[in-house]
Amino acid sequence: MEPRSRSFYLLAAFFGCFVLFLYGPIITIGILSFQGPGGGLTFPMNGVSLHWFYNLFEQQAVGDFWGSFRRSLILGLMVMVTTVALSMMGGLAFRNRFAGANLLFYLVISSLVIPSILISLGVGLIFNIVDWEVHWSTSGFGAQLTWTLPFGILIMFAVFNRFDKAYEEAARDLGASWWQTIRHVVLPIIAPSLIGVALFGFTLSYDEFARTLLTSGSRNTLPLEIFGMTTNVTTPVLYALGTLTTVFSLLIILTFLCVAYWLRRRSQRHGSDAGQGMI
Amino acid sequence: MTAQRLSWLLVLPLTLVLALFLVLPLLTIVVVSFWDYNEWSFFPAFILGNYEYVLTSNVTWATYLKTLKFTLLTWGFCTVIGFTVAYFLAFHVRSLTWQIALFMLCTIPFWTSNIIRMISWIPFLGRNGIANSMLLDMGVIDAPLEWLLFSDFAVVLAFIHLYALFMVVPIFNTMMRIDKSLIEAARDGGASGFQVLTNVILPLTKPGVMIGSIFVVTLVMGDFITVRFMSGGQSASVGRIISNEIALLQYPAAAANAVVLLAAVILMIAIMLRFVDIRKEL
């Protein structure tokens, strides 16, 4: 191998700075959430304590934190399941030409790049005009899907662009029905990517703000609750909450990545029968 | 069942969701933008007053200019950072495992909360924050800088912090698909490292840059929350005007503003799409 050039070290330093830029602030509030009871929003640390974490568990201190967390969790799971199912179906459909495919594709792209506040406003208006009450599980759910579905569909596009159709043809030649082919051949192969779609579905919903703002009704989801807190909470309890939900997000990401990795290993193990045939 | 029918059946739920929560809301916004309103309600009518107000108000033009400034600054920094980071990952990191690991390191923040990532700048930029105390200790400044937090500077910084990965990911994706033999050929032909970069890699990366640009531009153009939080409520953006009008229940005015914003965003995307075919890039 060639020796490392000088530009490698320069670029590596730049990359290091970028990572520090990405993670530095969040690590700072991670540290500051352990402020002592008398400490403020900035350094120096006034002792080290779990005071602000305890504070989170006292109802009146931070509003309806647990209620909003529960709502965000349920909504995230709803959005995740729907996104995985609809993206998978969409991905399968788009492999064949069908009338309207182009139009639908451009709708998906529009859904991704449209300013979120327009979705929020439009859905809010519809519910206002027909006099339905906005609720996180109806209008909020639909508004969030317009954000998660494009990611799911685009991932499935990328997956099926690289998918070898020979596997399916082999299954069909052996007499498998359409559903059997999907269930026993396609699904196991694309399973790791579906976990990726699920990760997008859950986390994007769990953290979504702009599209949920006017569509969640009187009961806030967690990001809305946290944003509300920024205007009236001036203690490190805000950091404790930030640290806690970020740790939760990181655990979710780690779990999904591990499952995806495990599925890939598993399919590699079961996917080959080399050396096992009878000679 | 024919293949076409099966496909239609499969995309039916997706189409329904998009029809109900994307197309219908947009149509509603367009319709309502012609409606009239008073202090407590809005009602069907056909007036052009909302548009007249939006298009003739000096505030609108000043706000669009400001929003455009945020967009251009964010876009410029994100492109340079995104390109450099992706270039390092794609061409200077040698093993695939490391490439994936470092790439993941760049994308993980995307799956965490934007609100918290904004809040996390407070201890760094605040009056008594890390940046100010460091600069004071080093003797660069005598008094704490007031414009670090709750300023336009903070807004752009937060935008770059939030959206740089939207550039890194598509650029990295296109760079990974560049045939390495093209680079070897350029080298064999006597090109220097810099010439390879400008004559081979840069042109082939253009689609990735364009996709990233579409993301960054639309996210910044429509933003209202980052501007509000990071400027401490002092700076305006188009999204903020809309959200303020919504808060005042002036829905038809908000709708007219939203239509103008949509037109501006579509125009910018249309220009960028001339340079890239999205479907080929997946």
Q: Per residue in B63-82, pLDDT tens?
A: 999 999 999 999 999 999 99
Is position B165 within any domain? yes
CA–CA dist A68, A142 (Å, integer): 18
Amino acid at B225: I
Q: Give the mean pLDDT of B108-120.
A: 87
Is the per-residue pLDDT at A1 higher than 60? Answer: no
Amino acid at B104: M
Cβ distance A223 to B10 less than 8 Å, yes or no, reads no
Q: Are A249 and A206 within 8 A, CB to CB?
A: yes
Name chain B contacts of A213, Cβ cutoff 8 Å: 243
- Lowest model confidence (mean pLDDT) among B16-20, B26-30, B77-81, B274-278: B274-278
Give me the pLDDT at residue A33, please.
83
Is it true that the peptide bond before A25 is cis, omega within 30 degrees of 0?
Answer: no
Q: What are phi and psi of A254, to 5 degrees?
A: -60, -45
Q: Chain B within 8 Å of A84 (Cβ-Cβ)? A: no
Give me the pLDDT at residue B1, please.
63
Give me the pLDDT at residue B4, please.
83
Give me the pLDDT at residue B12, please.
92
Q: Chain A within 8 Å of B268 (Cβ-Cβ)? A: no
Percent of chain B beyond pLDDT 90?
29
- Lowest model confidence (mean pLDDT) among A5-9, B117-121, B205-209, B240-244: A5-9
List the CATH number of the domain containing B148.
Answer: 1.10.3720.10
Higher pLDDT, residue B45 or A194: A194
A43/chain B closest Cα distance in angstroms: 7
Is the per-residue pLDDT at A275 higher than 80? Answer: no
Using DSSP, state whether B2 is helix, strand or coil: coil
- Say which of B111, B129, B193 has its CB closest to residue A42: B129
pLDDT tens-place string over residues A112-162: 889 989 999 999 999 888 888 888 888 889 999 999 999 999 999 888 888
Is the per-residue pLDDT at A63 higher than 70? Answer: no
Using DSSP, state whether A272 is helix, strand or coil: coil
Contacts with B189 (C-beta within 8 Å, 6 or more apart), sequence order: none
Quick one: pLDDT band at residue A59, thresholds 50, 70, 90? low
In the 3-class helix/strand/coil scheme, how is B158-205 assigned residue by residue?
Answer: HHHHHHHHHHHHHHHHHHHCCCHHHHHHHHHCCCCHHHHHHHHHHHHH
CA–CA dist B160, A236 (Å, integer): 25
In the 3-class helix/strand/coil scheme, how is A145-178 assigned residue by residue?
Answer: HHHHHHHHHHHHHHHHHCCCCHHHHHHHHCCCCH
Q: Chain B within 8 Å of A7 (Cβ-Cβ)? A: yes
Name chain A contacts of B8, Cβ cutoff 8 Å: 93, 98, 100
Is position A246 within any domain? no
Is position B35 within any domain? no
Is the per-residue pLDDT at B277 higher than 90? Answer: no
pLDDT tens-place string over residues A198-221: 999 999 999 888 888 888 877 888
CA–CA dist A124, A213 (Å, integer): 9
Q: Chain A within 8 Å of B246 (Cβ-Cβ)? A: yes
Q: Give the mean pLDDT of A49-64.
A: 71
Is position A2 within any domain? no
Is position B98 within any domain? yes
Give me the pLDDT at residue A150, please.
93
Q: Are A93 and B11 within 8 A, CB to CB?
A: yes
**Residue among A121, A205, A26 at smallest CA distance from B30:** A121
Cβ distance A124 to B246 less than 8 Å, yes or no, reads yes
Q: Chain B within 8 Å of A23 (Cβ-Cβ)? A: yes
Interior CA angle at A141 toward A139 and A147, to 5°?
Answer: 110
Is position B31 within any domain? no
CA–CA dist A182, A176 (Å, integer): 9
Interior CA angle at B212 toward B158 and A16, to 5°?
Answer: 55
- Say which of B8, B11, B123 has its CB closest to residue A29: B123
- Say which of A24, A123, A203 has its CB closest to residue B21: A123
Higher pLDDT, residue A159 or A235: A159
Q: Give the mean pLDDT of A189-201.
A: 90
Is position A19 within any domain? no
Q: Chain B within 8 Å of A1 (Cβ-Cβ)? A: yes
Is the per-residue pLDDT at A75 higher than 90? Answer: yes
Q: Which residues form the domain of B167?
A: 59-281
Higher pLDDT, residue B79 or A192: B79
Interface size between A and B, measured as CB pairs under 8 A: 256
Percent of chain A beyond pLDDT 70?
94
- Say which of A99, A122, A153 has its CB closest to residue B29: A122
Cβ distance B121 to A25 less than 8 Å, yes or no, reads yes
Two tokens at B276?
């890239």
Give me the pLDDT at residue A158, please.
87
Is position A223 within any domain? yes
Is position B195 within any domain? yes
Two tokens at A138?
């109806």
Is the per-residue pLDDT at A70 higher than 60? Answer: yes
- Say which of A7, A99, A118 has its CB closest to residue B262: A118
**Residue among A233, A228, A234 at smallest CA distance from A41:** A234
- Residues of A (63-82) whose Cβ lies below 8 Å from B: none
User: B146-181 in b/e burial notation, b at 16+ Cβ within 10 A?
Assistant: eebbbbbbbbbbbbbbbbbbbbbbbbbbbbeebeee
Answering whether pTM is above 0.95, one says no
Name chain B contacts of A114, Cβ cutoff 8 Å: 22, 26, 218, 222, 262, 265
Two tokens at A33?
């959430």
Cβ distance A250 to B116 less than 8 Å, yes or no, reads no
Give me the pLDDT at residue A273, please.
65
The number of beta carbons lying within 10 Å of the beta carbon of residue A263 is 17
Cβ distance B261 to A115 less than 8 Å, yes or no, reads yes
List the CATH number of the domain containing A97.
Answer: 1.10.3720.10
- Residues of A (98-157) whose Cβ lies below 8 Å from B: 98-101, 104-105, 107-111, 113-119, 121-126, 128-129, 142-143, 145-146, 149, 153-154, 157
Give me the pLDDT at residue A148, please.
93
Q: Chain B within 8 Å of A230 (Cβ-Cβ)? A: yes
Cβ distance B113 to A226 less than 8 Å, yes or no, reads yes
CA–CA dist B112, B277 (Å, integer): 30
Is position A140 within any domain? yes
Two tokens at A58?
């006292």
Partners of A48 in the β-ladder: A35
CA–CA dist A178, A189 (Å, integer): 16
Q: Give the mean pLDDT of A189-193.
A: 88
CA–CA dist A1, A192 (Å, integer): 33
Partners of B42 in the β-ladder: B37
pLDDT tens-place string over residues A85-101: 999 999 999 888 888 88
Mutate to test the interface with B, among A7, A32, A42 (most CBs of B within 10 A): A42
Partners of B36 in the β-ladder: B43
Q: Which residues form the domain of A179?
A: 63-232
Cβ distance B88 to A14 less than 8 Å, yes or no, reads yes
Is the per-residue pLDDT at A39 higher than 80? Answer: no
Which residue reads 């026993």 in tokens?
Answer: A184
How many domains does chain B contain in total? 1
Is position B30 within any domain? no
Q: What are phi and psi of A98, to 5 degrees?
A: -145, 150
Contacts with B33 (C-beta within 8 Å, 6 or more apart), sequence order: B50, B51, B252, B255, B256, B258, B259
Which residue reads 């043809």 in tokens?
Answer: A169
Q: What is the ipTM metric for this complex?
A: 0.87
Is position A241 within any domain? no
Is the per-residue pLDDT at A47 higher than 90? Answer: no
Two tokens at A266?
């598993």
Is position A142 within any domain? yes
Q: Chain A within 8 Å of B282 (Cβ-Cβ)? A: yes
Higher pLDDT, residue A49 or B114: B114
Give the residue from chain B lying closest to A234, CA to CA.
B122
How many domains does chain A contain in total? 1
Mutate to test the interface with B, among A78, A125, A200, A252 (most CBs of B within 10 A): A125
Name chain A contacts of B81, Cβ cutoff 8 Å: 18
Quick one: pLDDT band at residue A73, thresholds 50, 70, 90? very high
Is position A68 within any domain? yes
Alpha-carbon separation of residue B263 from A146, A210, B23, B30, B64 (angstroms): 19, 20, 15, 11, 12
- Residues of B (152-181) whose Cβ lies below 8 Å from A: 161, 164-165
Is position B251 within any domain? yes
Give the residue from chain A lying closest to B106, CA to CA.
A19
Contacts with A70 (C-beta within 8 Å, 6 or more apart), sequence order: none
Q: Chain B within 8 Å of A24 (Cβ-Cβ)? A: yes
Is position B254 within any domain? yes
Name chain B contacts of A149, Cβ cutoff 8 Å: 14, 17-18
Amino acid at A152: G
Give me the pLDDT at residue B187, please.
87
